Chains A and B, each alone.
Chain A
Amino acid sequence: MKLSRQPSAVSARLLVRSASLLVPNRRRADWTAEWLAELWHVEHVSGTVSATSLNFAAGAVNDAFQLRAHSVRAQLMSRLRSLMQPGAPARCLLVLAAATLAALLLCLALPGARRVFLPSPYQHAASLVLISSSGSADLATPSIPVSDYREWTTNTAPLFSELAFYRVAGKTLHLADGPERRLVVAQASPNLLHLLGLRSASATAPALFLTHAAWRKHYRGDAHLVGRVSDIDGTPVPIAGILPADAWQLPGSIDAVLLENPATLAHLAPTTRGFAIARIRGAVFPPPRRGYRFMVETRHDVVYHFDCISLPWLLGQPFANVLLVLFLASIALPATLPLSLSEAPVRRGPLPRATLARRAAFLVAKLTLVPLLVLLCSIALTWGPRFDPNTAFLIQFVTGVPTLLFAFRWILHDQRHRCPECLRVLSNPARVGQASCNFLAWNGTELLCVRGHGLLHIPELPTSWFSTQRWLALDSSWLCLFAEQGNPSPEPI
């Protein structure tokens, strides 16, 4: 007993008792008793209380820590297993979230779909407009004659601070030591890239700018390409630079931008059609935030209409299409499926608020994830292969609305076939009653919550007294029949 009163003995016991706080409650008494008994023996075997007993007691900290770590790990695994069981709501949400993430990654991997999500690469894009004579219906087709462009460069200065023109044409490009390549080139006025904010100053024309994709595809990312002189249809043109990836978002799928001399553009036939891009003066002509504005021109007593279509609005069309598809699917849903989730449940009292909130949150999460997944897939499908905007919209509309409608139906069907209390999918369907006795008795299908919360009755034929499914809550006296509820797994060690 003398030994125990020494400071080292007290410190060792204090250390063991402190470490015991780390041990899970269920094992603490047993653990502490073993360590104290062993400590007593250490002290009596060595005969003196010294650093030996303190060293011995220090091992208790590691022992307690490892027990706690194992307990936490086992509890987490147990909780995870419970969450990931078939039919568990967390598993459903996790699968949906993983699929949505995969769809987002697919969109980001496809260049056409990726640019839908990226911010506009153009500086001060709000004041940029695409001038079209055919409205927004057919923006993929060039509609501005070069003669109009020439005229506007002189008489639209109050409206536009800068005006540029380009037309898409096939050109043969030849480098001194390389093969000839047929490229699709935007033959443009020298200020096009400056207008878009892709260059700080107008380049000395003529100059060729390859798109990043064409540079990688045709020249394998040759770092020494810039500065070399190419031969384009017999005219020597220096390669002045490589456009940043995803920089070209204007109509026309091109490999390069060829900035031409004004004199060369002047040689184009007046009826040659292309695209006109302008930066409007905000003070006199407020930028069109949504859609487009008319520009009216009178020539030879004839009125011409042109549409100045906002470039940001144009680039945001995929999202506008998505919203339209979502809206159409939402209004079509009640026509295809009753929206109520079930009749009032037959139970002794209302469900607790927390359960109701959890159920609502689960529904909202599905209503968020599923449409998002469908819409991301539709963007990848339509904008990934770089269809023209009209075809993309058509495909998005034709595929998006029915798929979303189906998705909404699945969400409601899934919600109806889950236990209102634990949100697990109801199982063990059983046919009850006979259809021939429909007027005398109930017949239909019964689904069961494996945790014993209740039964869902789904009528085979809706009748005036039993038209939709009903939830029958079971009281706690039934729980012993359900293995999952009645025999909870023991607390992990």
Chain B
Amino acid sequence: MTSMPAEARLSHSAAMILQAIHAGHIYGFGVMEVTGLPSGTVYPALRRLERDGFIASRWEQQSIADAEQRPPRKYYRVSRVGRATLEAAWKRYPLIERMLPTPEVERV
């Protein structure tokens, strides 16, 4: 994992994906659905974001998946560095926060 400076600039697609995860869409397919980006863009971007330390991934517990009779999924969450980078990205791309509002913003 490579640490990146908080003010690292993200592309628009990467910022959208980071915002989608931050907004609670924690699976790759969920990110695809809310951003409208194809799988060939979303998953490579997830790898890059994880490699740069902006997000972290974890496998779902096997027992939960077994209970629902489906394979376990890998989910993502925004790291502290990713959060700082996302806040910097909001200034560059103010619309993404409105397009994919975080749960707190949605409540307001």
Name A's B-contacting residues (CB within 8 A): 30, 33-38, 40-42, 44-45, 55-63, 66-67, 70, 493
Cα–Cα, bound, A340→B86 (Å): 64
Complex alpha-carbon distance, A36 and B73, angstroms: 9
Q: Say yes or no for B13: interface residue by CB 8 A criterion.
A: no
Contact A38 B44 (CB under 8 A): no
Q: Evaluate contact between A38 and B27: CB separation under 8 angstroms.
A: yes
How distant is the Cα of A272 from the Cα of B43 in the complex, in angstroms?
A: 89
Chain B hits for A37, CB < 8 A: 70-74
* B61-88 residues at the A interface, CB under 8 angstroms: 70-74
Q: Is the CB of A66 within 8 A of B44?
A: yes
Selected from A36, A57, A59, the residue in CB contact (under 8 A) with B41 is A59
Chain A residues whose C-beta falls within 8 Å of the C-beta of B28 in the assembled complex: 34, 38
User: Are A34 and B74 in touch, CB under 8 angstroms?
Assistant: yes
Residues 12 to 42 of chain B near chain A (Cβ within 8 Å): 27-29, 32, 38-42
Name A63's contact: one of B43, B51, B70, B71 (CB within 8 Å): B43
Complex alpha-carbon distance, A61 and B38, angstroms: 12
Q: Given the interface contacts A38-B73, A40-B70, does A63 sit within 8 Å of B29 by beta carbon?
A: no
Q: Is the interface of B mostly helix, strand, loop or mixed?
A: helix
CB distance from B65 to the nearest CB of A (A): 8
Residue of B43, B47, B71, B72 near A59 (CB, 8 A) is B43
Whether B39 contacts A56 by the Cβ 8 Å rule is: yes
B74 touches A63 (CB 8 A): no
Is chain A's interface secondary structure helix, strand, loop, or mixed overall? helix
A33/B71 contact (C-beta < 8 A), A38-B29, A45-B29, A58-B40 known:
yes
B95 to chain A, nearest CB (A): 25
- Specify which chain B residues have a CB less than 8 angstroms from the CB of A42 in the assembled complex: 29
Q: Say how far B39's CB is from chain A's closest CB, in angstroms.
A: 3
B32, B40, B51, B74: the one contacting A61 at CB < 8 Å is: B40
Interface centre among B29, B39, B73 (most CB of A within 10 A): B39
A40 lies within 8 A of B39 (CB) = no
Question: What is the CA–CA distance of A63 and B29 in the complex, to the nearest angstrom?
Answer: 14
A60 lies within 8 A of B43 (CB): yes
The closest CB in chain B to the CB of A69 belongs to B44
Q: Which residue on B lies nearest to A65, using beta carbons?
A: B44
Task: Indicate which residue in B44, B70, B71, B74 contacts A62 across the interface (CB closer than 8 Å).
Answer: B44
A-B contact pairs, 22 of them (CB 8 A): A30-B74, A33-B72, A34-B74, A38-B27, A38-B29, A40-B70, A41-B27, A44-B70, A56-B39, A57-B39, A59-B38, A59-B39, A59-B40, A59-B41, A59-B42, A61-B40, A62-B40, A62-B41, A63-B44, A63-B47, A66-B44, A67-B47
Whole-angstrom CA separation of A462 from B44 in the bound complex = 64
- Quote the shortest CB–CB distance from A63 to chain B (angstroms): 4
Extra A-B contacts (19), CB below 8 Å, given A38-B73, A63-B39, A493-B51: A34-B73, A34-B74, A37-B71, A37-B72, A37-B73, A38-B29, A40-B71, A41-B29, A45-B29, A55-B39, A57-B39, A58-B39, A59-B41, A59-B42, A61-B40, A62-B44, A66-B44, A66-B47, A67-B44
Query: Lowest 3 A-B CB distances belong to which pairs?
Result: A59-B39, A59-B40, A62-B40
Nearest neighbor of B28 in chain A, beta-carbon distance: A38
Q: Kindly provide the distance from the CB of B63 to the nearest chain A CB, expressed in whole angstroms.
A: 15
Q: Complex formed: what's the CA distance from A56 to B41 in Å?
A: 11
CA distance A40 to B74 in the complex (A): 13
Among residues of B, the one whose C-beta sits closest to the C-beta of A41 is: B29
> Which residues of chain A come closer than 8 Å to B27, judged between CB atoms?
38, 41
| Chain B contacts for A58, CB-based, 8 A | 39-40
The answer for the CA separation of A63 and B42 in the assembled complex, in Å, is 9
Alpha-carbon distance between A57 and B40 when the two chains are bound, in angstroms: 9
From known contacts A63-B44, A63-B47, infer whether A41 and B70 are also in contact, taking CB-CB under 8 Å.
yes
Complex Cα spacing A361 to B5, Å: 45
Chain A residues, CB < 8 A from B41: 59, 62
On chain A, the residues within 8 Å of B51 by CB distance are: 493
Across-interface contacts of B44 in A (CB, < 8 A): 62-63, 66-67
How many Å lie between the Cα of A70 and that of B44 in the bound state? 11
Query: Which residues of the other chain, B, contact A493 by a CB distance below 8 angstroms?
Result: 51
Which chain B residues border A60 with CB–CB below 8 Å?
Answer: 39, 43
A45: chain B residues within 8 A (beta carbon): 29
Q: Which residues of A contact B73 (CB under 8 A)?
A: 34, 37-38, 41
Contacts of A55 in B (CB 8 A): 38-39
- What distance in Å separates the Cβ of A228 from its nearest Cβ neighbour in chain B? 65
Q: Which residues of B contact A44 (CB under 8 A)?
A: 70
Q: Is the CB of A36 within 8 A of B71?
A: yes
User: Which chain B residues lie closer than 8 Å to A70 at the CB level?
Assistant: 47
